[in-house]
């Protein structure tokens, strides 16, 4: 099992992208990637909405997410979100151990 959280950062005048760039430049994103239980942490920009940045954040389990939320870097992250005046929406997905029937549609 794993938990993926899609966080959509919404801003104005490129602020969401600047936020993601600051997260990378300041090493906060890399520090999160190194946290126990983190399986992935990547930013994407939707083609049809340049004022939004999507973060796909994947964790081993809820305990790993809880530990991340209790970490000191969450304060840094919150300060950056405030600095760039971002608003967020989220989606949460929980994986199963069932075989992936979509494999037949993927080109390797």
Q: What is the model's pLDDT at position 57?
A: 97
Predicted TM-score of the model (pTM): 0.88
Each domain of the chain, given as residue ranges in start order, spans 3-86
Query: What does the pLDDT look like over 43-53, one tens digit per residue?
Result: 999 999 999 99
Q: Torsions phi, psi of 37, nearest 5?
A: 90, -5
Residues 6+ apart with CB under 8 A from 57: 4, 5, 6, 7, 32, 38, 40, 41
Query: What does the pLDDT look like over 57-95, one tens digit per residue?
Result: 999 999 999 999 999 889 999 999 999 999 999 999 998
Per-residue pLDDT band at 107 (split at 50, 70, 90): confident
The class of domain 3-86 in CATH terms is: alpha beta
Top mean-pLDDT range of 10-19, 70-79, 92-101: 10-19
Per-residue pLDDT band at 98 (split at 50, 70, 90): low
Residues 6+ apart with CB under 8 A from 93: 3, 4, 5, 6
């Amino acid at each position: 099992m794993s938990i993926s959280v899609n966080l959509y950062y919404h801003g104005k005048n490129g602020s969401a992208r600047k936020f993601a760039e600051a997260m990378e430049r300041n090493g906060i994103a890399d520090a999160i990637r190194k946290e126990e239980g983190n399986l992935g942490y990547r930013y994407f920009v939707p083609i049809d909405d340049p004022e939004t940045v999507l973060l796909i954040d994947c964790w081993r389990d809820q305990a790993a997410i809880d530990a991340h939320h209790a970490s000191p870097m969450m304060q840094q992250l919150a300060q950056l979100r405030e600095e760039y005046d971002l608003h967020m929406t989220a989606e949460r997905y929980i994986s199963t151990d069932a075989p992936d029937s979509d494999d037949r549609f993927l080109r390797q």
